[in-house]
Amino acid sequence: MTSAIEARGLGKRYLRRWALQDCSFRIPAGVVCGLVGPNGAGKSTLLQLAGRISRPTAGSLRLLGAPAEDLSGLARIAYLAQDRPLFPRFTVEETLRLGRELNPAWDQRIAERIVRSGGLDPQACVGLLSEGQRSRVALALAFGKRPDLLLLDEPMASLDPLAAHEIGGLLMAEAAEQGTTVVMSSHQVGDVAAMCDYLVTLADGRVRLAGEIDALLSAHRIVSGVHLADGPPSWLDAHTVVETRTRGRQLTALIRVEGAIPADWQAAEPDLEEILLGCLRSPGVPSLFTATARIETGIGNGTETGIGNGIEAEEDAA
Amino acid sequence: MSATADALPKTSAPAPGRRGRRLLRGMTWVVWRQHRIVFLVFLTAAVVMSAGMAWQRSDVMEFLRHPSGTDFQEWFDSDLDGMSRILRLVPVFVGVFIGAPLIAADRERGTARLVTTQSVTRTRWLVTKAAMALLVTVVCTAPMSAAFTWWWKPVHAYFNGGNWASGAVFDATGPMPVALALFHLALGTAIGVLVRRAVPAMGLTFVCSAVLGLVWDRYRLAFGTPRTVTAPLGGSFPERPKGSVHHDSWTVDMDGKLHGSGACSHYAERTPELCRAHTGIVAKRIDYFGFDQMPGMQWAAAAVLVAVAAVVLGTALWWAARRTL
């Protein structure tokens, strides 16, 4: 399986602060990957590195199989910056012409379609548009480039619900028809759950979860049961416990399944939000990578666990 | 969603390459479109002023056909002087309004990231920007300088009292306005790369230009070797050739050693013999630059300025290509 993004020991330092540190993961080609994490977790930094806006301080980054420094891949990667920079005195039409002039594989049809379905006047001055409308023009530029890898920094932010739905549909269609790999950061877990099939979670500049969303979900269970003694029940030691909560005699735990669960305990598959929140609330729990997301680095950092063969076997059987 | 949207683009199918407006393409078009207001203001001003100067020259020629003593001061000196002041400000304007925002504005607004995440390399973007700014600078300053030189040349003996070594003439004629403008363009661009914000970069460029202008005033004449003429003490003052510019005055003793021009002032009132007896000074000497030296000095100065500009601009662009935009 070819990878769209392959990071090894990737780090980026701004002055004294590491925005991203020791990140090793892979995003396979053809997926729609959500990039989630709290504010300041390093999402935008990662997208900037992948968009070649900035250079890594440490480690290496490969994009679509070539090193990030390789300039031949410029036309294959599109990047939508969080602040949607556009020339304020260009008209919408001139902004699209910019895309046409600077990109060999430019697709005027799709760019115009995005602009027009937002009801934008091609002669309107970009500086006078609303934030959401500017977002739409910037998205038109990114889509019109016809990239193989589409990097979107919070694409849905500042779009109205209708526009967000439309752009979401467009993203899915692009990914399905053109095989475009999409990596989008988002704060809306709902958007990620609806659109993405792959997930990278960052916290404090490190990767916490990476892999197919289905595999990540099925690696976790929410177990609940009656527990009378103090402290967690001993059978939980066999699993990785993400977090536990007790209410009266009822104990509920989010665990990564690594063994048997007693029959008198209820086990249910969590949803994406539960995993994300649990993972972000428990920084001490090891990072989790699925087989396609894991990168074998020479510098073995012992803090990560992988989803073992059991899960892959399950997938094969399904 | 897609059903209605698909139907729309048909109305604008022949959009690409509409009319014959395809003179500019690719990055050149983007840079021109982005900076066209500033570029057009400079180009228009250059055309208007060049034409104005060429027209004024006919008045000067009329005057020369019927010279009448002090009339020049009265009628033409202030015109030439005003234009010379403008010509000496043009390089500063180029640095402040073209150079400083050239890269800084794009970094401030984030449009540097917009352009360099399209399918062109950062180097090509930077080089295209610099090349177009250089082109506009040369296209603006060369005709203005040529027109002013053409206007001034016939009356060089009159304007500014014939003193071509001051900035009013030296910096406003021949290759100098172009070289100074290129230097200031490089300066402004480099400051913009360092400062990353357009307005502070423009302010800083202006301040630096003012300071460097003072420095330049001291070294303007370092590009020529003065000629000398000596005359014995007590006689009339040494004669300089016509059109030459006085540079320095000395007194010389019997061993050929130089003394200040005032070394004999105590004695000169009485007799040269008294001065000679006390100090050994026997002659007066004047250093001057001949009018024929002017082009050589200007071209040497221009060459140095352009070389410095090239190094500054090259370093700035190299730096910008490597930095986070």
Q: What's the pLDDT tens digit per position in B46-66? A: 999 999 998 888 888 877 777
Sequence-distant (6+) residues with CB within 8 A of A122 are A91, A92, A93, A96, A115, B12
Whole-angstrom Cα distance, residue B169 to residue B155? 12
Of B92 and B252, more confident: B92
| CB contact A86 to B (< 8 Å) | yes
Nearest to B97 by CA among B194, B209, B205: B205
Q: Is B210 left (phi over 0), alpha (psi -120 to 50) or beta?
A: alpha
Question: Which pLDDT does position B156 carry in this prediction?
Answer: 85
Name the H helices within chain B. Answer: 2-7, 26-65, 71-72, 78-93, 100-109, 111-116, 122-152, 167-170, 176-195, 198-219, 265-268, 272-279, 294-322
Residue-level pLDDT at A307: 56
Lowest mean pLDDT among A119-123, A157-161, A203-207, B149-153: A157-161
Q: Which CATH class is domain A3-204?
A: alpha beta
Q: Is B54 exposed, middle or buried (0-12, 13-18, 19+ CB in 10 A)?
A: middle
- Report the pLDDT value the prediction gives residue B266, as an integer from 0 to 100: 67
Residue B131 confidence (pLDDT) above 50:
yes
A18 pLDDT more than 70: yes
pLDDT, tens digit (0-9, with 9 covering 90-100), for A188-202: 888 899 889 999 999
Please state the rounded mean pLDDT for residues A254-272: 87
Question: Residue B3: is its pLDDT beyond 70?
Answer: no
Cβ-Cβ contacts under 8 Å, B118 against chain A: 74, 98-99, 102-103, 141, 145
Distance, in Å, from the CA atom of A46 to the CA atom of A27, rounded to the nearest integer, reads 13
pLDDT band at B244 (very low <50, low <70, confident <90, very high): confident
Sequence letter at residue B317:
L
**What is the pLDDT, as a whole number, of residue A69?**
84
> Positive or negative, the Cα torsion across B144, B150, B156, B159?
negative
Mean pLDDT of A53-76: 88
Question: What's the rounded Cα separation, in Å, for the pair A84 and A142?
Answer: 11
Judge: B324–A85 Cβ closer than 8 Å, yes or no: no
Inter-chain contact A98–B30, Cβ cutoff 8 Å?
yes
pLDDT at B71 (0 to 100): 65
Phi first, then psi, for residue B261 (nearest 5°) are -65, -20
Give the confidence band of A26 by pLDDT, cuts at 50, 70, 90.
Answer: very high
Residues of B with CB under 8 A from a CB of A: 1-2, 4-6, 8-9, 12, 15-16, 25-27, 29-30, 33-34, 109-121, 322, 324-325
- % of chain B beyond a pLDDT of 90: 51
Q: Reduced to 3 states, what is the DSSP secondary structure of residue A185?
A: strand
Q: What is the pLDDT of residues B300-313, one digit of tens each?
A: 999 999 999 999 99
Q: Which one has a higher pLDDT value, A313 or A280?
A: A280
CB contact under 8 A, A101 and B324: no
Distance CA A25, CA B167 (A): 64
Share of chain B above pLDDT 70, in %: 89
- Where are the domains positioned within chain A? 3-204, 214-317
| pLDDT above 70: percentage of residues in chain A | 93
Read off the pLDDT of residues B161-173 as tens digits, 9 standing for 90 and up: 888 988 889 999 9
Domain ranges of chain B: 25-222+293-322, 227-291
Statement: residue B75 has pLDDT above 80: no
Nearest residue of A to residue B33, measured between CA atoms: A90
Asked if A199 and A191 touch (Cβ cutoff 8 Å), the reply is: no
Residue A173 contacts B where some CB pair is shorter than 8 Å? yes
pLDDT at B170: 92
Predicted pLDDT at A308: 47
As a whole number of angstroms, the distance between CA B256 and CA B61 comes to 46
Please compute the mean of the pLDDT values over residues B179-188 and round it to a whole number: 97
Q: Please indicate whether residue B276 or residue A133 has the higher confidence score (pLDDT).
A: A133
For residues B138-158, give the mean pLDDT. 91
| Per-residue pLDDT, B79 | 85
Question: Which chain A residues contact residue B324 at CB under 8 A?
Answer: 48, 53-55
User: Which residues in chain A have Cβ-Cβ distances shorter than 8 Å to B25?
Assistant: 101
What pLDDT is stored for residue B21 in this prediction? 57
Contact call for A98 and B118, based on CB within 8 A: yes
pLDDT at B5 over 70: no
What percent of chain A is modeled with pLDDT above 90? 41
CB within 8 Å: A53 and B29: no
> Is A314 a residue whose pLDDT tops 80?
no
Q: In what order do the strands lie in the sheet with A58-63?
A: A17-28, A3-14, A58-63, A66-67
Three-class SS state of A7:
strand
Burial of B203 (C-beta count, 10 Å sphere; 0-12/13-18/19+): middle
Establish if A291 touches chain B: CB-CB under 8 angstroms.
no
Residue B189 has pLDDT above 60, yes or no: yes
Mutation target to probe the B interface, by most B beta carbons within 10 A, among A113, A125, A150 is A113
Q: Which of A55, A57, A101, A123 to mutate to test the interface with B (most CBs of B within 10 A)?
A: A101
The reply to whether residue A108 touches residue B6, judged by beta carbons under 8 angstroms, is no
What's the confidence (pLDDT) of residue A1? 59
What is the rounded average pLDDT for all residues in chain B?
86
Average pLDDT over residues B196-201: 94
pLDDT computed for residue A225 by the predictor: 87
* Look-up of token digits 């970094």: B107
ipTM value: 0.83
At B253 the pLDDT is: 82
Helix or strand (DSSP H, E) at A61: strand A58-63
